[in-house]
Amino acid sequence: MKSYYAKLTFCILTFCTALLATTLGLYHFHLNLKTFIKSTKPAKPEVEKIKLPRKSFLFIEKNIEFKVCNKLKKKKRKVKCFTIGGTSSASSFAIHTEDNGSYILTAAHVCKDTKKEIVHAFADMLEENGLTKRVKKNSKVEYTIKLTLVDLELNSFAPIVINVNHKVDSCLLFIPDVILPTISPASKPPELGEIIYTMSSPAGVFGNDLVPAFKGIYNGTKLESKLLGFLTDVYSLPVTGGSSGAPILNRNNEFVGVTVAAHDDFKYIAYSPRMRDLYKYLSDALIKYPSCEETQNVKRSKI
């Protein structure tokens, strides 16, 4: 009988030992398999982030007001006047600072429209408001333009127009007593196919700590005689009203251009003054106006 129990005990111990060994083997297999799966699992791709000099960007609100005065035929020396106006938006950015303020770059047509552009804007406003018939041949028409610059914290500034050059469609503004972070000029032009970036307020899209950013490609230089009349650098970028004056940046956040126009039929082609022409304009303007101690009053102009 004792022999029987001894054999039974031996069988049970042998079975338990084998079961334990199997369990430990399966556990180690599970650990090794888990480690293998982790090592072969593809890593999550890093999210590409564009770090742009956003605090150097300024939104522009442009207000234009027309005053129309007509002489009354039946009442000598008496004049009846009415006013109409409109608001548009644009982009700009700080490029240079001094102890007494900051210089801002935008497009020339933002600061000062050509006579043709003013006439078109006036005609459009008259038609929109049903006032076309109230303008007579002897009507006297005057207009004023007011620019307001707004930063990402929604602080507003009244800039001074320092220099306007329609030959390169560029305008230099000055904000007294305000020091802003600036964007530096690039040391060399972009290469064909180079990736570039921009910050702009297309269609007036802008807000507190919000400015749209876009990625594009440099495509080369073209004489845009019909639209602008000068050599331009051409970029693949979305452009619409409000994009004028936006900085075009390389990967080092240096500006290589400024958006001044879009293709008439394809809004993903942006034009900028040729880089060397733009830099020459800025160099001449900043030498001519090394500081801004004198303010310039907005003058009334006749159409």
Q: Annotate 136-147 with b (16+ C-beta within 10 A) or e (fewer).
A: eeeeeeebebeb
Domain ranges of the chain: 54-288
pTM here? Answer: 0.77
For residue 217, is it left (φ>0), alpha (ψ between -120 and 50) or beta? beta
β-strands 269-273, 230-236: how paired?
Answer: antiparallel
β-strands 230-236, 247-249: how paired?
Answer: unpaired
Residue 255 has pLDDT above 80, yes or no: yes
Count of other CB atoms within 10 angstroms of residue 270? 29
Provide the Cα torsion 224, 227, 230, 236; round to 10°.
Answer: -50
What would the pLDDT profile of 238-254 be if each residue is shown by its tens digit? 999 999 999 999 999 99
What would the pLDDT profile of 186-207 be if each residue is shown by its tens digit? 989 999 999 999 999 999 999 9
pLDDT bin (cut points 50, 70, 90) of residue 170 is very high
Look up the CATH number of domain 54-288. Answer: 2.40.10.120
Residue 300 has pLDDT above 50, yes or no: no
pLDDT mean over 110-117: 83
pLDDT (0 to 100) of residue 56: 97
Residue 113 has pLDDT above 60, yes or no: yes
For residue 88, give the H/E element and its range: strand 79-98
| Cα Rg of the chain, angstroms | 34
pLDDT (0 to 100) of residue 245: 97
pLDDT (0 to 100) of residue 303: 36
pLDDT (0 to 100) of residue 122: 85
Residue 291 has pLDDT above 80, yes or no: no
pLDDT (0 to 100) of residue 137: 79
Helix/strand/coil for 265: coil
Q: Under a CB-based contact definition with an 8 Å cutoff, are residues 152 and 94 in contact? A: no
Instruction: Identify the burial level of 6 via C-beta atoms within 10 angstroms of its C-beta, where 0-12 means exposed, 13-18 middle and 19 or more buried.
Output: exposed
